[in-house]
Amino acid sequence: MISLGIESTAHTFGIGIVNEKKQVLANVRNSYSNPQGGMIPNELAEHHISVFKQVFKEALARASIKAKDIDIISFSQGPGIGHALRVGAVFARSLALLLDKPLIGVNHCIAHLEIGKMLTEAKDPVLLYVSGANTQIIAFESGKYRIFGETLDMGLGNFLDTFAREAGIGFPGGPVIDKLAQKGSNYIELPYVIKGMDISLGGILTNLKSKLNKYPLEDLCYSLQETVFSMILEATERAMAHTGKNELLLGGGVACNRRLQEMARIMAEERNAKCYVLPNEFNVDNGAMIAWLGLVNYKKGNQLTIEESKIKPYWRTDEV
């Protein structure tokens, strides 16, 4: 059975194709960028509309299949930016109707967890999910997905991008901050804001803005990473202790960060736990994870009618 997955929650329009043997046949994506920083919703939608046809063609070519060979159509139903989600949803509905195939809507956050389980030896991990809008510590416990900790204000990726915009280093900012941090060496004291299992980033961002042009940017990036990564990993370690789980999985675009991966491995090793990090193409938003979760959901009997396939921009992980 072959599943096609459409990802369009934010800046990436991606199409992935997987089969039930856990083989990724194709994983093609095209991402919106903005030198001035940030995502402008209507421009985002226009980007996705302009690239979806080419991304679809390339995915079929890489998988060496024709459209009629697809068995199910999966798409990100939420959470995400409404303008972007609608493009993927309309394309998914159109394909399902045209090819007369089942339509499956999936939760984007859970897709990050399930693709990690598919591609690694992890059986029952705690997922540290860090992306643009989402920063959550997720695990499956007592029969459902649960959030054991999260940001109280902004996602870690958005935090990095906003600081990058203020510093004039463009969008997306995370990779540039990571490179600059590697050149920094002097730790500049920043607020450390963790409240139980949750973190807050807004005050740290304000503090960082006030320090721009007063300290070397490399040292600010270094200090930023050391502080916020320590905060989120402290909460993650508590979640692992609370649930008794001994597997940690990183997911989301910020999981590509070299220093976050290093700190996560150190924390897991000190707990005699295993840390799993995916190749970057599966950390960032991608269609393969949507295709795989769609296949899992289809086998569980979850299928949508066209009327039921409305997007869910605010769909929380713990509602699934």
With beta carbons less than 8 A apart as the criterion, state whether 161 and 174 touch: yes
Tokens of 203: 């005050």
Which class for 299: exposed (0-12), middle (13-18), buried (19 or more C-beta within 10 A)?
exposed
Rounded-to-integer distance, Cα 160 and Cα 221, Å: 9
Average pLDDT, the chain: 95
pLDDT band at 36 (very low <50, low <70, confident <90, very high): low
pLDDT number for residue 173: 87
pLDDT number for residue 40: 84
Q: Distance of CA 171 to CAs 5, 312, 313, Å? A: 26, 26, 22
Q: What confidence tens digit (pLDDT) does each residue in 116-143 have? A: 999 999 999 999 999 988 999 999 998 8
pLDDT number for residue 236: 98
Provide the b/e sequence for 194-233 (b: ≥16 CB within 10 Å).
beebbbbbeebbebbeebeeeeebbbbbbbbbbbbbebbb
Q: What confidence tens digit (pLDDT) does each residue in 91-105 have? A: 999 999 999 999 999
Cis before 41 (ω within 30)? no
Amino acid at position 253, single letter:
G
Q: Distance of CA 313 to CAs 47, 148, 256, Å? A: 19, 21, 24
Residue range 276-283: mean pLDDT, rounded: 95
pLDDT number for residue 37: 62
Domains and CATH numbers, the chain: 2-110+285-319 (3.30.420.40), 121-277 (3.30.420.40)
Cα 231–chain centre separation: 19
pLDDT band at 38 (very low <50, low <70, confident <90, very high): low
Residue 265 has pLDDT above 90, yes or no: yes
